Amino acid sequence: MNQKKPIGQFVCPTCSKRFGRKGDLGRHEKLHTGARPYVCSDCGKAFAQFSGLKTHLNVHTRVRPFACNFEGCDKCFGDPSSRARHRKETHERVGAFKCPFPKCKSSIKRRSAFTSHLRKHNLDPLTLDIDIFAPTQSQMSVKSTSRKSIRGSMAESLPVQPHTVVKDQFREEFYNRMSLHNFHPSFLKK
């Protein structure tokens, strides 16, 4: 019969953390010693593990081997943590703005970034049938009951109840305030 090694057979003498393989323990022990034997020949940055140096070299070569595997996304990254951050912030964000453009799967947290994104598709955020001014999950908590939960300096001047659509009031207030600063919003469509 095949006998498996007991899990945690190798124990770190410094912190008592257990490892199933001797190599994993050796790699872990470098955290305690501070040893960084793998040095980048281009910039001198040192790493505890060879894999860290190998990934770092992509910064200098501009190689981006870590592709986002989300359907319809063709972005690539130099390291796996940047790819993971991209997936979390772009494709998996709860309460984010979803792009209405066909074949675009973007999901963007910040309203300003979302409106910029829409313009890349030649879409005017003020004429679309989406509510870019409504507070989303990322701007307003579900349990919120005050106007303080709506971001922006105009929140106090709006007659807003939590979880209501504020697009028309916001647009009206926006135009009024811009006219006070000699800004002519005629290029913006209602």
Place of tokens 């006998």: 3
Phi and psi based region of residue 106 (left: phi greater than 0; alpha: psi -120 to 50; beta: remaining): beta
Phi then psi for residue 19, to 5 deg, are -135, 150
Q: Which two tokens stand for residue 42?
A: 């281009």
Q: What is the pLDDT of residue 153?
A: 44
Identify the pLDDT of residue 113: 84
Q: If you write DSSP's letter for every residue of 35-57 in order, what string do you get?
A: ---EE-TTT--EESSHHHHHHHH
Q: Class of the 34-63 domain? A: alpha beta
Work out the average pLDDT over 93-108: 74
Residue 43 confidence (pLDDT) = 95
For the chain, the structural domain boundaries read: 34-63, 97-187
94 confidence band (pLDDT: 50, 70, 90): low
pLDDT tens digits along 104-160: 877 777 778 888 888 888 887 777 666 555 544 433 333 333 333 334 444 444 444
Long-range contacts of 139-147 (CB under 8 A, 24+ apart): 139/95, 139/111
Across the chain, what does the average pLDDT equal? 72
